[in-house]
Amino acid sequence: TGVEHEQVIDVHERFYEFIRSFRDRSDSYKYRERIKQMITMGQKSLIVDYNDLYLFDNRLARLLIERPDEVLQQASEVVKEVVMTEAPDYAETIDRFYVRVRALPRVVPLRRLKSEYLGKLVMLEGILVRTTPVKEKIVKARFMHCTREQGCHRFDWPPEGELIGDILERPPACPICGSSGGTFRLLPEESKLIDWQRIVLQERPEEVPPGQLPRSIEVVLQDELVDSARPGDRISVVGIVRVRPDSVSKKRAVFDLYIEANHIEVSQKILEEVVITREDEERIRALARDPWVRKRIIASIAPAIYGHWEIKEAIALALFGGVPKITEDGVRIRGDIHVLIVGDPGTAKSQLLQYAARIAPRGIYTTGKGATAAGLTAAVIRDKTTGEYYLEAGALVLADGGVAAIDEIDKMRDEDRVAIHEAMEQQTVSIAKAGIVAKLNARTTVIAAGNPKFGRYLTNRTLADNINLPVTILSRFDLIFILKDRPNPEEDRKLARHVLEVHRETERIKPEIDPALLKKYISYARRYIRPRLTAEASKLIEDFYVEMRRMSSENPEGPIAITARQLEALIRLAEAHAKMALRNEVTREDAEAAIRLMKTFLESSGMD
Ligand code: ADP
Ligand code: ZN
Ligand code: MG
């Protein structure tokens, strides 16, 4: 072990010195001030930036990583001492102060977390996929000791300065009478309890190697950390790696790693995981100056798939999205464009969806059944081994801020059929079951595909008849496309030539724009571009909407009722069209493109 080569450090003294003397760039005593603030705010945690500690004393900082239990225990005592001198009354009311560490220099990928990290402090990043309800854990137990000779008396366990770990063991002997005989009875209502919760952290979808399942790890939260993040949140966790048996039976020699959290941060910025460098930005800007940029983007979507230009265009617009708005009275209007493709088998629906998920920032490809028990939205699930209930996020929550490509959406679970309405319009998922009540974010674009109910699309039936989805869900899609696979010699020959060419090429067919760059381009637009409607574009959309309403009133049997939803859809599509070229204004041209797509949708769904 490397420890014996280390010089002995007086952790207590060094940490005290760090708090007392560390000054930041603006020359202020950062941690003395943080402690003062902690007192005024009535908090009990001091947050330390790892880098500050490293600058102050790199040996102490390294020791914190190597032996966190010891260093954090000392650090907590130091904070208590400092608070004692500053505000003795306040210090008396707090049992334990915490030192929480943020921003370690290195993130350990979830896949790399091995037993060599046992007992060490690590930082992990991922999506919170599951939480259990809050429980209470004993940190200081009160026992009643009774013997025939001495009668009964109470004592606290473990002794001052020590805390209970994961297992509450019977004290070996009574600290009052010294006897190990008699009976020891735990008094839970007189013991000291803290909040306790288990969560599951999972690799972010973009980190999972293609074709593999995402890895996950359990994280234990205590005290103030409890409920500090919700399923679907992207978080970074600093914590100590621990083990416990992988099952209830104590005799098994197989163990699971888990993390005891020291600090948690919820990532505020959506899309920050796609890194855009200065050079990337220049390439993105150069691409946007090309007058053909939109055509090139559309042509870059699933280039191996022949035709389907309008669907590719719709997918492109969905990837860019419109501009979300919040009205004065606080109502959120989504910017996300939802697209549905209903079509005969073998018409490349799955291929298109998979491609869309690949180039979308925060893209997830899943099927209507969902990849996990949580399905498309969220679920309260009962663990078979422990009997414990937990809340797990489904695909739309995990892809919050991104795109969920849902194949075979007609096969979704009944629970999702209910919950997906709220997810697609209000962009939240509410759940209340088995004592778990939560509202999760699902600001997610849905690009979905479904198979016709009768095997093939029947032209003499309506759209709603052809797909096993209620009209209430259909009406939440901004655009719906119908793909009919009918023989057409001319088209068939072209498709055959295209597919044969793809197969002849030894390399895969090259898209116009490299997928990695396109993904960055989309991220950039979603992050920075907020186009505004010009008067001219508004007028065009307004006129078209009024005309649509008039026509649909003449044809009340029409498949889709024209409502203000289609008006909002037109605005979003026009905005997305402007975003595609990184423009800040929605022009006449953008409005025309939106109208053209809407017309295609209405005609193909049987409005004509
Ligand atoms: P679906 O999900 O609609 O049933 P798939 O995406 O599984 O269809 O496509 C079936 C196969 O047919 C795939 O290998 C796909 O590449 C091919 N295919 C279908 N339509 C086209 C097309 N227009 N261009 C190229 N390949 C196509
Ligand atoms: Zn005793
Ligand atoms: Mg398919």
Q: Which residues surround ligand 3, an ion (CB under 5 A)?
A: 350
pLDDT classification of 582: cutoffs 50, 70, 90: very high
- Flag whether pLDDT at 208 surpasses 90: no
Weakest mean pLDDT among 312-326, 337-351, 450-464: 450-464
Residue closest via CA to ligand 1's atom 15 equals 348
Question: What are the φ/ψ torsions at residue 198 (nearest 5 degrees)?
Answer: -110, 135
Distance from Cα 139 to the centre of ligand 2, integer Å: 21
Encoded tokens for 445? 């674009």
Give the HSE-up count for residue 571: Cα atoms under 13 Å, Cβ half-sphere: 19
- Flag whether pLDDT at 5 surpasses 60: no
All residues at 6 or more sequence positions from 552 whose CB lies less than 8 Å from its CB, including other chains: 558, 560, 561, 562, 607
**Terminus-to-terminus CA distance in the chain, angstroms?**
78
**Nearest atom in ligand 1 to 354's CA:** 6
Q: For residues 592 and 178, give the distance between their C-alpha atoms in angstroms, rounded to a whole number.
A: 88
Distance from Cα 458 to the centre of ligand 3, integer Å: 18
DSSP 534: -
Residue closest via CA to ligand 1's atom 5 equals 348
Residues with CB under 6 A from ligand 1: 305-307, 343, 345-351, 495, 498-499
Rounded to 5°, angle at Cα 204 from 198 and 205: 130
Cβ 376 vs Cβ 406: under 8 Å: yes
Nearest to 325 by CA among 181, 524, 525, 533: 533
DSSP 300: T
- Ligand at minimal distance from the CA of 347 is 1
Encoded tokens for 575? 């905005």
All residues at 6 or more sequence positions from 19 whose CB lies less than 8 Å from its CB, including other chains: 31, 32, 35, 78, 79, 82
Of all residues in the chain, what percent carry a pLDDT higher than 70? 93
Distance from Cα 505 to the centre of ligand 1, integer Å: 18
449: amino acid identity, one letter: A
Cross-strand bridge partners of residue 46: 99
Look at 499 and 506; give whichever has higher pLDDT: 499
All residues at 6 or more sequence positions from 389 whose CB lies less than 8 Å from its CB, including other chains: 132, 133, 380, 381, 382, 383, 433, 434, 435, 436
| Radius of gyration of the chain, Cα coordinates, nearest whole angstrom | 30
Cβ 531 vs Cβ 575: under 8 Å: yes
Question: What pLDDT was estimated at residue 503?
Answer: 77
Distance from Cα 424 to the centre of ligand 3, integer Å: 22
- How many Cβ atoms from other residues are within 10 Å of residue 346's Cβ? 9
E strand or H helix at 592:
helix 588-602
Encoded tokens for 461? 């039936």
Q: For residues 506 and 55, give the distance between their C-alpha atoms in angstroms, rounded to a whole number.
A: 54
Q: For residues 558 and 407, give the distance between their C-alpha atoms in angstroms, rounded to a whole number.
A: 26
pLDDT classification of 250: cutoffs 50, 70, 90: low
| pLDDT, tens only, 375-386 | 899 888 888 777
Q: For residues 343 and 453, give the distance between their C-alpha atoms in angstroms, rounded to a whole number.
A: 10
- Ligand at minimal distance from the CA of 184 is 2
pLDDT classification of 465: cutoffs 50, 70, 90: confident
Question: What pLDDT was estimated at residue 560?
Answer: 63
Q: For residues 587 and 242, give the distance between their C-alpha atoms in angstroms, rounded to a whole number.
A: 58
- Ligand at minimal distance from the CA of 175 is 2
Question: What pLDDT was estimated at residue 608?
Answer: 36
Q: For residues 329 and 513, give the distance between their C-alpha atoms in angstroms, rounded to a whole number.
A: 42
The mean pLDDT of 59-75, rounded to a whole number, is 95
pLDDT classification of 408: cutoffs 50, 70, 90: very high
Burial class from Cβ neighbours inside 10 Å (0-12, 13-18, 19+) for residue 379 reads buried
**Nearest atom in ligand 1 to 308's CA:** 23
- How many Cβ atoms from other residues are within 10 Å of residue 417's Cβ? 18
Distance from Cα 89 to the centre of ligand 1, integer Å: 72
3-state secondary structure 102-124: ECCCCCCCHHHCCHHHCCCEEEE
Encoded tokens for 139? 């940190």
pLDDT classification of 334: cutoffs 50, 70, 90: very high
- Flag whether pLDDT at 282 surpasses 90: yes
**Nearest atom in ligand 1 to 352's CA:** 6
**Ligand 1 pocket check: which of 308, 340, 344, 347 to mutate, most ligand atoms within 8 Å of Cβ?**
347
Cβ 260 vs Cβ 244: under 8 Å: no
- Flag whether pLDDT at 521 surpasses 70: yes
Distance from Cα 407 to the centre of ligand 3, integer Å: 7
Peptide bond into 109 cis (omega under 30): no
Residue closest via CA to ligand 1's atom 6 equals 348
Distance from Cα 141 to the centre of ligand 2, integer Å: 15
Distance from Cα 348 to the centre of ligand 1, integer Å: 3
Mean pLDDT score across all residues of the chain: 88
Residue 216's region, left for phi above 0, alpha for psi from -120 to 50, else beta, is beta
Nearest to 222 by CA among 189, 192, 254: 192
**Nearest atom in ligand 1 to 348's CA:** 6
Residue closest via CA to ligand 1's atom 10 equals 346
- Ligand at minimal distance from the CA of 409 is 3
**Ligand 1 pocket check: which of 305, 351, 493, 508 to mutate, most ligand atoms within 8 Å of Cβ?**
351
Strands 255-266, 216-222: pairing is parallel
